[in-house]
Structure 1
Amino acid sequence: MHESGNMRYLFLIILAAATLLGGCGVWDSTTEYTKETWETTRDFVNPPPVIDTDSYQFTNPNQEKLAKLISPVDGPLTTLIRFVDDTDTMPGIDWLDLLMARFPWVDRVLVTDEEGTIIFMQPQLPVKRISKPLVFEGVWRQVRLLTVVDYSDLGPEMYIGRPYFDDVQFSGLIGVGFDPRSLMRLCPDPKALIIIHPGHNVWTLGADVDKEALLAVDWEDILKSEVQGQVKAGNRYYTWLTRYVGKDQYIYATESVDPNAEGSWWPF
């Protein structure tokens, strides 16, 4: 981290070789109870988000297909984003237990100090290790959520990072990691859904796609003025919709049913 005028910049490098805090036994002893309790009450406290796509009057079959694919995926992701974004102090065991109970597809939770050293991580020995230092960069007075994707031999791991504070003093980062392909399994037809990390990679669960062609699309230029549309990649057409996670953009896509279809129900 460094000072520049009156603006303090957050530049955290989270090291894979971390010094962990003790007290993880408390986590282990409370997780089972908390998860069981949450399972019996969550539908009352936090009803699962559902988009009734049947109630929309679709005029575009491409957008209808994409909407039905992403609604059971984007709902849980949006809920996780809100859950993490609402936390601006060092989380306690109750917060950590509740997060893992509500979002069973989350692989890892970590907390760092202001220098980026991990002071707590659950699980302590994850199956998917951090392959290289995670770099989060932002202006701490402006930033809320940041994302970093680690591409390990076992596949992508997306980290949602959020700074936390002691009073108004920046104290470190909360990181929540998950494999985006785990979320895609909630989709009614996982092989039909594509998630694009512009400039980096394409995530699928067996979809027959030309990844190089999709990455060759000039997404940086398109996203300057568009939030949805149709693109041609290789010899196929794909209908897409952008999704912000914090300040970063990712793209939901699927192969178009009818590239010549017109009409839209998107509210933009």
Structure 2
Amino acid sequence: MQRVNKAACLLLALGVLLATGCKHEAKGYWKDTRRYYREYLNTPAKLDLEDKGEVAPAEARLAEGFAGIDIQLRALERALENSDRRPDTAWAKQMFQRFPWISGLAAVDSEGHVMAQQPEAPMKPLDFSPLLKEDTKQNMRALRSYVQDTPMGPEVYVGVPVYSGTDFRGLVIAHFDIRALLPYSSRPADLMIAAPGQVMWPGRFDAQATPIASTDWGSVVTKDVYGSVSNANGEFYWVSRYLGNLPLVFAVPEAGSFPEKPEQLAILKQAAALGSANTPNEPVTEIQPAYPELDESEGSILTKPAPQASDDQKVKEEAIR
């Protein structure tokens, strides 16, 4: 209050000087007035880059663990929603360049028949049919996601519905192994990743000994977006992030002691190889929209038949099954 009164007195003095014709002195007082105004009344904002605020240790570890992964997932969502171009070969190449961690791309029609896919003969047995089911809690044109548990690890699917006017034509789908995203985490060994009904990445922990495996995430995430869960061994701090309509849960230990399985971390050395084998060397940072119509033209992977798998690949697929 004292500082404000001081500035007010200066303003009053300035008015008196102007009224008496003391222009030269008034000019000096005007400079002082502006300085006091900026210093006391309209102080410029200052950003303290050294102030990290009050963050709990578990919150900091969780942020370090999942932030890089979340950035990649958000970018994939935007690319699928906003690409505004026919999903042809050029589009697929750009997607593989921008997201080297995805396993593949596919297009299915409204009946679930695969019209085309890259790579032409995927190693995992893929099931696109759950994406055809509409979620009544979301817009019918919104992204749809789900996780498939395969013998070679969990596969996450993200599909964007394709319409011609009001007619549902099918889905353009990107799919990936969640473990291919671990190189983007600063603390992959401390991080656990789950979805309703399954643990997708256990980190260094024995998943069944943690509350992450025993929690009904389908119910929990409808009430909260972050929090703590515990069992007899201790407590985990978690946060949920949606990929389309699929809630993904990221968690780190907060208290207690949990049994570990360090052999699970061996996959970290090979995590990058779980992405697409078609990844070009040159990076692409932006997908340019082309704004064409989705029609029957040659080159659209919605209408181009998928190549048949080779005999060797069929043997591999049978072995997986």
TM over 0.5: same fold?
yes
Query: What does residue 238 of structure 1 align with?
Result: 236
Alignment of structure 1 residues 38-77 onto 2, 5 Å = 56-77=52-73
> Match for 1:113 among 109, 116, 125?
109
1:219 and 1:81, CA in 2 relative to 1: closer, same or farther beyond 3 A? same
Q: What percent identity do the matched residue pairs reach?
A: 26
1:102-160 superposed Cα distances (whole Å, 9 cap, x missing partner): 00010010001121100110001112232x56312116963411112121111011000
1:161 and 1:176 in contact (8 A); partners too: yes
Larger Rg: 2
1:158 and 1:211, CA in 2 relative to 1: closer, same or farther beyond 3 A? farther
State the Cα distance separating 1:207 from its structure 2 match: 3.4
Query: What does residue 205 of structure 2 align with?
Result: 207
> SS state of the match for residue 116, structure 1?
coil
> SS state of the match for residue 221, structure 1?
helix
> In the aligned structure 2, how far is the partner of 1:159 from the partner of 1:211?
28
2:210 and 2:233 in contact (8 A); partners too: no
State the Cα distance separating 1:236 from its structure 2 match: 1.9
State the Cα distance separating 1:189 from its structure 2 match: 2.2
**Structure 1 residue runs of 4 or more that deviate by more than 4 Å after TM superposition:** 87-90
Q: Which runs of 5+ in 2 are unaligned?
A: 1-48, 258-321
> In the aligned structure 2, how far is the partner of 1:210 from the partner of 1:54?
40
Alignment of structure 1 residues 210-221 onto 2, 5 Å = 210=208, 213-221=211-219
Greater per-residue strand proportion: 1
Query: What does residue 198 of structure 1 align with?
Result: 196
State the Cα distance separating 1:54 from its structure 2 match: 7.8
1:44-92 superposed Cα distances (whole Å, 9 cap, x missing partner): xxxxxxxxx9864233111011011111111111101111122466412
2:229 and 2:237 in contact (8 A); partners too: yes
Q: Which runs of 5+ in 1 are unaligned?
A: 1-52, 260-268
1:237 and 1:85, CA in 2 relative to 1: closer, same or farther beyond 3 A? same
Greater per-residue helix proportion: 2
Query: What does residue 15 of structure 1 align with?
Result: none
Aligned length: 206
> Match for 1:94 among 90, 97, 101?
90
Query: What does residue 81 of structure 1 align with?
Result: 77
1:134 and 1:168, CA in 2 relative to 1: closer, same or farther beyond 3 A? closer
1:134 and 1:184, CA in 2 relative to 1: closer, same or farther beyond 3 A? farther
1:241 and 1:55, CA in 2 relative to 1: closer, same or farther beyond 3 A? farther
Query: What does residue 183 of structure 2 align with?
Result: 185
> In the aligned structure 2, how far is the partner of 1:149 from the partner of 1:220?
13
Query: What does residue 142 of structure 1 align with?
Result: 140
> In the aligned structure 2, how far is the partner of 1:99 from the partner of 1:236?
41
2:212 and 2:236 in contact (8 A); partners too: no
Greater shift after overlay, 207-216 or 151-160? Answer: 207-216
Across the aligned residues of Structure 1 and Structure 2, the Cα RMSD in angstroms comes to: 2.5
State the Cα distance separating 1:201 from its structure 2 match: 3.0
State the Cα distance separating 1:226 from its structure 2 match: 1.0
The letter for the 2-side match of 1:93 is T
* TM-score, L = length of structure 2: 0.58
2:211 and 2:229 in contact (8 A); partners too: no
